[in-house]
Each structure stands twice: as C-alpha cells, then as structure tokens.
Amino acid sequence: MVAKSCLRRLTLLFAVGMLLCAGLGYRIALIQIRDGETYRQRARDQQHRVVTIDPRRGRIYDRNGNTLALSVEFDSFGIQDLDWDRFSSADVGNLAVQLSQITGEDPRHIVDRISGSTDFRYLVRWVNPETSERIRGLSTYPRFEPYIRTEKEARRVYPYRTAAGQVLGFSVDGAGQAGFEMEHNRLLSGKEGYSVVQIDAQRRAYTWLDDYRKSAENGADVVLTIDIAAQVAAEKVLEEAIAWHEALGGMVIMMDPGNGDILAMASSPDFDPNTPGRFPFEAQKIRPVVDSYEPGSTFKIVAATAALETGAFSLEDRIDTSGGRIQLGTQTISDHDVFNELSVREVFEHSSNVGTVKIALELGEKTFYEYTRSFGFGMKTGVALPGEVNGILHKPARWSRSTLPTMSIGYGVSVTGVQLAAAYCAVANGGQLLQPRIIRSITRNDGTVVPVPKSVVRRVMKPQTAEILLDVFTGVVDRGTGTMAAVPGFKVAGKTGTAWKAREDGRGYTRNYRSSFVGMFPASDPEIVVLVMIDEPKKRGFYGGSVAAPVFNKIVRRLVHMPDGPVESIPESDDGLPLHLASIEPNTASDRESEVSDWSHPGVRGRMPRDLLPLDDRWEIERPGALTGPERARVALPSVIGMSVREAVKTLAEIGIEATIIGTGYVRRQIPAPGRGVYSGERCIIECGPYN
C-alpha cells in the first residue's frame, strides 16, 4: 500500500507536469498561430538570398552609328573573411607584389586594401579575360583561393578616348558623374531587377527560385547629333592652333543650321572619360555651355540685324566713322584701321567699331535690347547638357551712358559659345532661332525608337533680312577682316571678333585677347555653322581674322573631302571639275620650304610647320592628264573595313600608307574610301569600333 506522503508527492509532480505541458502547449500555440508568419519569414530569410540584377546601361552612339560609350563586362577579384591566423604579413605581401607585377599598381596600395576593416575588399577590378587568367595562375593564388571572390562587373568604356570627352562625361558603378552621362543618368541607367536564390548553411547558393524573379529594365540607347569624324577633325585642328599660338585654350562648335544639331563641340584642354581621375576637375567642363565671355565683334550680328530689320538703315547708307575714333564722355572707342566714311555694308565687312556704335546709338537702347533678347542672349538655350549658364545681359534700367555703345561691339555683355553659334544659325537658316539639339533619337528598352524633333524658339528676322546679312557676311570673307577663312571652290560667310579679356576683379581689361570667328558654309546654302574661339593667343597674332579664321578654314577643308560627313557640297576647281575627282600630287621640296602659312595678324608673318598644315595645304591640284614620276605611282586604296587594327595597319603599310587610328577594336570606316587613288606616304584615317 502506497504511503499517503508518496501519493501526495506523485500528485504534486503530476500537477506540475500538467502545468508545464499546458504552458508548453500554450507557447507552441502562440508560435504557430500568432507568431507563425514571423518565424516562417525568418526561416525564409535564412534560407534565401535576394540577388540584385543590374540593368545594362544604355549605349551612346554618334549620328552615324559609331559607338561612343558602352558598358563592357570585366572580372573583379575581392577577398572576404580572410582568416588572419592562417596568413602572415609576408604571405599578404607576396600576393600584393605578384598582383602588382600584372596590374602595375603599387603593392602597398593592394596591401592596404587587404588589411581593411570591412569583411569584403577588392584586390583588383575590371580586368580583361587574359589578365584574369594570369591572376588565377599566380603561385600565391591557391593559398588565398578559399577567401577570394570573383564577380563580373560592368565598366563604362569610351572607344574614342578624348574625342567628345567633355560632352560624354563619364559614369562610375552605373551612375553618371559628369557630362551627358550625368545629365541623362535616369534615361541611360534603366531599373534594377532581382532574383531569389536558396542557400545552404554555409550560405552557398544551390538553386534559383524562378517564381521570385523580376527582370531588370535596361537603359535606353541614345543617338547623339555628334558626328565623331567631324569632332575628331575639330579637336585636332583646335589643338594645333592652340600649340601654334601658345594659347591658353579654346573651343569649336559646329552646328547644322537647318535643325539645330550640334555636330561637334570641342574644347581645350581635353579630357579622357576612361581615366577621369588623371584629369583636373576643370577639364570636365563643357566650356561652350558652361563658360561665358565677352564676344567682341562677333556680337555685331545684333546691330546689323536690328539696323536692317527695323528699316532704320540700308546697306548703301553712309556712316561717318570720324577717322576711326569716337569720344563718348571720358571713353574713346577706336577702329583697328583708319576709316573716314563707310557704307553700312562696309561697316560690318571691315568690322568698324565706330560705325557700329553710331548705328546702335541711332537704334536706341530699347530696340537694341529687344533684338539682343530675341537672339537668345541672356538666357539658357535649353541644350540637354549639364551646367549651362545664362550669360550676362542687364536690363536697360541698369545701363549707364556707355553700355549701349560698348555692348554693340561686344563688351559689357557675356555669351556662351552655344548661344552665339545658335544666333548665327538663325542667319544661315533664313531667320529662325532654333534650340540647339544634342540628342537625335532614343531607343527604349522595348525597341521603340523615339526621334527628337527640332525645336523652333522664335523667328528673329524676316527671310529677306537673313539673305541680306548672309551676303554681308560673305563680304567679310571676300574682302573684309575674314579673308583667311576663305575655302577654294566655295563662298564662305562669317564674322571675326577680337576682344580684350576682363580682369578677374572686374576692374577694367587685361592685354590678353580672345580671338573668334563664326563661319557659315557654304554661303550659298549653309550646311554648317562653325564657331571658333582661341583663348589668350600669345604668339603669331591675336586678331580673330588671323588666329580663329584659319582654324575654320582648316576644319572645313577636312570636312569637304570626308565621306558621309556633314558637308555634302562639292567644290569646283578652276577648270570646273569637282576637286575630289582631280588627282593630286605633292609639291616639290623647294615649294614646300618656300610656302608660308599666315596664321598671324596683319604685319606679322609666321611659317606654319609642315606637320601642322592640313592635308590640302600640302598638295596641289594636278590637271587631268598630267604626268607623274614613276616614284610617285598611284595605287587604289584597299579596303580594311572589318579588319583588326593590327591587320589594317599592316595592310596599309604594305603600300606605303600610314594609318591614323581612331578608337580600338575592328575597322568600321576608313577615310579616304576604298578604291580611291592614293600615293605612297599619304595617310588613311581608320575608325574602329570595339565590342560590337
């Protein structure tokens, strides 16, 4: 018989057990019913990992389909959760030294990254497959391999390097940091996607869950209005001119006056978006959009337009230019030459400051201001590039007695290069001010192509006035200050400008100059407008007519012989044959030595080095049927399109042709075109497009 005390203990134990079971059951019920979803989510989080799917960043093309910017996948190597108990500092040093022998990087920088405080550190980034294999073949690699993580990373590549570098800008890790890449980052970057992967206890992926996947939306591809061949030509000639005149810098803007397309936008110093860290921040600026300056006599377009459009003057009206000097209070404005009396036409052909001032005074402040605003000065053009400024144009209420006369000749007002180029486009196209256009079309992720139409801002002048002005500006090149812009076989219209630079403190002017020329080509029916500005030429002249006008000449002479270029007009030789059909022969050595290229202002002659002369300056027209010596046998230029750079250079070298290479990869275009007759020693430009 069980003792009562034992029975009580058993009863108590059973009661406690029942209470514990009830509590446990209650807790299980809470976990399953109330907190069940929370714990299931925690389990899923431990068993799954969300992987971000990066979209492909949109490509950027020029107007002819040449790739200007694209994203290319490279290998990147990182190190994660390194067990420092297994490795000595000597082991890490050996790995760093071996990596540095491949990448060229300072091994100390690699050691610093490995020794970082984060769980994951990059060893090297963005290496090509060949370099990736070399890294895997290092003797130290197997020891570190369990801790090394490799991944595919996209890096932005700019095949044409410095060509249009400021315009394109650059992006890092999928985000635009400057230029077009920054301004249109959302358009180019697309939208991220994601995918869910199941992982094991060591967090290693072993299966993908297709039900939990959202594809990335790739960025849009963009076709710019830029013609990269014209851009390269503009940059090359600008660079030569800056070196020749030992100038501080400069810019060139080329536009199509018919639709406002920006065909080229070059500025110096240059910038390579592939290696942005090697250039100062200032080099990233798109100077034709960001920098404003006093334009000098190129601004006389306002006075000329207002005088003719209002009917206040005709071209035949005579202006007393007072011997080339006019006194306005304590200020004296003078001409670059002595003129007593000029017609209105001659005032602008010879860029008379005194004559322009008298015309402006007759027009009055209100009229002059209205036409200045009508041309778009003092406001942004709306070009789709970052950092555009308004320029400086004060309202007449803030003008002093000297503002109108000085503004009429391009002082006391600041403009951007793109504003001034757009103003001359209005003359070239019959009187319409167009919004400068940098985007030609956009291709969306779904393949839809969205063209960007031209945008007319307003009509600045009547077509008849534009026609008269075009004739006046043709006279500037024919017999005025812009004769050095003349191109054989064509009529050219344009306007020169020379302006002192203001002091940085705003008090007066320095003796440094900006030399400018804006040309419209050909004058009969302009296909392009080209603005050239050279900043602070130090030697061989400073006038716009002798510094900037020759730059225009050299650029255009390259364009007229460029296949698929922006100029379609064909020049004619003296015998009526198109120049591109006439054969060419080098001048004799004595002829070349005696040849003088006048890049200087009147009274200062300078000899241009032969390697800086344009091709056309080194060749003379040979009449059909003329004989050439056997040592100058002419051969047909072979096609190298589709070849690698090495194959193309070798093929051309076999016939004595030197290759000028633009870009990398495979040849997509060559200038001159295949089949053209060439002589040994000539050059052939080959444009290459990689990764297509």
Query: In a 3-state reduction of DSSP, which class is residue 332?
Result: strand
Residue 78: domain span: 60-190
Q: Is residue 363 part of a domain?
A: yes
Residues of the chain with pLDDT under 50: 575-632, 691-692
How far is CA 278 from each of CA 275, 285, 597, rounded to the nearest angstrom?
Answer: 6, 15, 36
Calpha distance 438→440 (Å, rounded)? 7
Calpha distance 488→484 (Å, rounded)? 11
Say how many C-beta atoms besides its own lie within 10 A of residue 496's C-beta: 30
Q: Is residue 491 part of a domain?
A: yes
Say which DSSP state 676 is in.
Answer: -
Answer yes or no: do 249 and 145 share one domain: no
Query: In a 3-state reduction of DSSP, which class is residue 649?
Result: helix
Kindly compute the dihedral angle of the four CA atoms of residues 416, 421, 425, 428, in this order, to the nearest 10 degrees.
Answer: 140
Query: In a 3-state reduction of DSSP, which class is residue 46?
Result: helix
How far is CA 97 from each of CA 94, 110, 118, 132, rounded to the nearest angstrom?
Answer: 5, 9, 22, 16
User: Which of 561, 587, 604 is the last residue before a domain boundary?
Assistant: 561
Q: What's the CATH number where 87 sits?
A: 3.90.1310.10
Residue 148: φ, ψ to 5°:
-90, 130
Furthest C-alpha separation in the chain: 147
Query: In a 3-state reduction of DSSP, which class is residue 32?
Result: helix
Q: What pTM, to 2 d.p., does this model score? A: 0.73
Q: Is residue 53 part of a domain?
A: no
Calpha distance 40→5 (Å, rounded)? 48
Partners of residue 667 on adjacent β-strands: 688
Lookup: tokens for 25: 């059951």
Q: What's the CATH number where 680 sits?
A: 3.30.10.20
DSSP string, 407-419: HHTT-S-BEEHHH
Q: Is residue 130 part of a domain?
A: yes
Helices marked H in 211-352 — which ranges? 228-245, 287-290, 300-309, 344-349
Calpha distance 621→469 (Å, rounded)? 33
Type of residue at 524: S
- Look at strands 683-689 and 658-662 and give their pairing: parallel
Calpha distance 360→338 (Å, rounded)? 20
Say how many C-beta atoms besides its own lie within 10 A of residue 63's C-beta: 19
User: Which of 166, 190, 214 is the last residue before a domain boundary?
Assistant: 190
Q: Is residue 603 part of a domain?
A: no
Look up tokens 């390579």; give the residue: 272
Residue 452: φ, ψ to 5°:
-100, 115
Angle between helices 463-479 and 300-309 (to 10 degrees): 130
Angle between helices 365-374 and 300-309 (to 10 degrees): 110
Calpha distance 496→482 (Å, rounded)? 6
Residue 203: φ, ψ to 5°:
60, 30
Say how many C-beta atoms besides its own lie within 10 A of residue 13's C-beta: 10
β strands within 452-508, DSSP E: 456-459, 493-502
Answer yes or no: do 392 and 331 share one domain: yes
Residue 590: its pLDDT value, please?
35
Who's near 417: CB < 8 A, 6+ residues apart?
251, 253, 287, 288, 289, 291, 531, 533
Half-sphere exposure of 391 (CA within 13 A, CB side): 29
Q: Are 61 and 220 in contact (CB under 8 A)?
A: no
Number of domains in the chain: 3
pLDDT tens profile 322-347: 888 888 877 888 988 888 899 999 99
Dihedral sign, CA of 233, 235, 240, 241? Answer: positive
DSSP string, 327-377: EETTEEEE-SS--SEEEHHHHHHTT-HHHHHHHHHHH-HHHHHHHHHHTTT
Residue 197: its pLDDT value, please?
64
Calpha distance 624→24 (Å, rounded)? 108
- In 3D space, the residue among 144, 146, 155 whose CA is nearest the CA of residue 202 turns out to be 146
Q: Are 59 and 67 in contact (CB under 8 A)?
A: yes
Answer yes or no: do 232 and 181 share one domain: no
- In 3D space, the residue among 53, 22, 330 whose CA is nearest the CA of residue 213 turns out to be 53
Q: Are 438 and 227 in contact (CB under 8 A)?
A: no
Q: Are 439 and 223 in contact (CB under 8 A)?
A: yes
Answer yes or no: do 181 and 236 share one domain: no
How far is CA 226 from each of CA 166, 234, 421, 672, rounded to the nearest angstrom?
Answer: 13, 12, 15, 20
- In 3D space, the residue among 482, 503, 504, 465 whose CA is nearest the CA of residue 551 turns out to be 482
3-state percent helix, strand, coil for the chain, nearest multiple of 5: 35, 25, 35
Catalytic residues: 297
Residue 204: its pLDDT value, please?
56
Q: Are 249 and 242 in contact (CB under 8 A)?
A: yes
Residue 663: its pLDDT value, please?
66
- Look at strands 60-61 and 221-224 and give their pairing: parallel
Q: Are 270 and 252 in contact (CB under 8 A)?
A: no
Residue 2: its pLDDT value, please?
57
Q: What's the CATH number where 374 sits?
A: 3.40.710.10
Query: In a 3-state reduction of DSSP, which class is residue 287?
Result: helix
User: Which of 526, 561, 596 is the last residue before a domain boundary?
Assistant: 561
Calpha distance 114→61 (Å, rounded)? 39
Answer yes or no: do 114 and 251 share one domain: no
Answer yes or no: do 315 and 387 share one domain: yes
Calpha distance 418→385 (Å, rounded)? 11
Q: Are 404 and 452 in contact (CB under 8 A)?
A: no
Residue 520: its pLDDT value, please?
98
Q: What is the CA radius of gyration of the chain?
A: 35
Answer yes or no: do 90 and 149 share one domain: yes
pLDDT tens profile 253-298: 999 999 999 999 999 989 999 988 888 888 899 999 999 999 999 9
Residue 576: its pLDDT value, please?
47
Answer yes or no: do 329 and 397 share one domain: yes
Who's near 248: CB < 8 A, 6+ residues apart?
242, 535, 536
Say which DSSP state 261 is in.
Answer: B
Q: Are 614 and 244 in contact (CB under 8 A)?
A: no
Answer yes or no: do 175 and 236 share one domain: no
Answer yes or no: do 499 and 424 share one domain: yes
Q: Is residue 22 part of a domain?
A: no
Answer yes or no: do 244 and 292 share one domain: yes
Residue 473: its pLDDT value, please?
97
Answer yes or no: do 552 and 665 share one domain: no
Calpha distance 493→505 (Å, rounded)? 37
Q: Is residue 642 part of a domain?
A: yes
Q: Is residue 93 part of a domain?
A: yes
